[in-house]
Each structure stands twice: as C-alpha cells, then as structure tokens.
Structure 1
Amino acid sequence: MYEIEGSYTQRCCAVLDKNRRRVAEIKQKEAVGGVGFGVDVFRLIVQPEIDAALAMTLVILLDQMFGSSRRLST
C-alpha cells in the first residue's frame, strides 16, 4: 500500500509506504543559469525500497489524473 502526499500539479509530492516512509519524491527541476523550466520538467527521486518502474507508473497515473495535458483538453 502506498500513499501520495503533497501536490502533483505543483510537482511537489512524495510517495509513502505503509510505514509512512518516503520511498519516492517528485520535485520541480531547479532553474539553471536563470533559465526556468515548466511544470512538465521535474525530478523523480526513487529510494531502493520501491521499484523504479512502479514509481514511474504512479507518476503516469498522477499525470493522467492531474497533469497539464488534462487541463488543456477540458
């Protein structure tokens, strides 16, 4: 069982395991040299306690539910 805490639309959320340990994290990518990135550019940080493919699957599902492409199509 996993729980997602935070805001995917702001690209600032964490995946917690059943013991509430942070096993994956989504963060906005930091700007480099004054050039900013859009919300669709982010970092996925995965801990060894969770399979990277499962973490990416959760990101895809979150994007289908709350992503910027969904906002554009409505």
Structure 2
Amino acid sequence: MANTNWHPIEQAPRGAGPLLLRSGSGPLDPVFIGSQADAGQWLAGDVEVHPLFFAEIPQFDADDSGVAA
C-alpha cells in the first residue's frame, strides 16, 4: 500500500485508538473504527478484530458551534 495513509498494523503504537482499521489491502476489504485494548488485542466496539492495516483519524479544528473556522 505505497503512497497511502494506511500502515501495517505492526507499526501501530501500543494502546492506540481510535484508529481506522482495515482487514486487507484491497479497496473492498472491510474498514472499521477500533482501538487496541491493554492486553494487545484489537477491538471494534466489543468485538475482537484482526486488522492488517491502520490509518489515523484526522483531527479537525472547530469552534464551540461545531463549524470549522
């Protein structure tokens, strides 16, 4: 996955999340939001998942009204 925001899951920081997680490298592979539990397993909600790649969720600047400045 060259030239992309997706990185191998092995490069994710310990205890990371929330992150976008992907189960494969193809465009039709499932993508979900998840995090890494203290024990090291990846979770999407209460379900353990086995992602191959992760991407950081971008942070957006917003004022108190929720509208970007």
Q: TM-score range by the shorter chain?
A: under 0.3
Q: Which has the higher contact order (CA 8 A, sep 6+)?
A: 2
Q: Which has the larger radius of gyration?
A: 2
TM-score of the pair, normalised by structure 2: 0.24
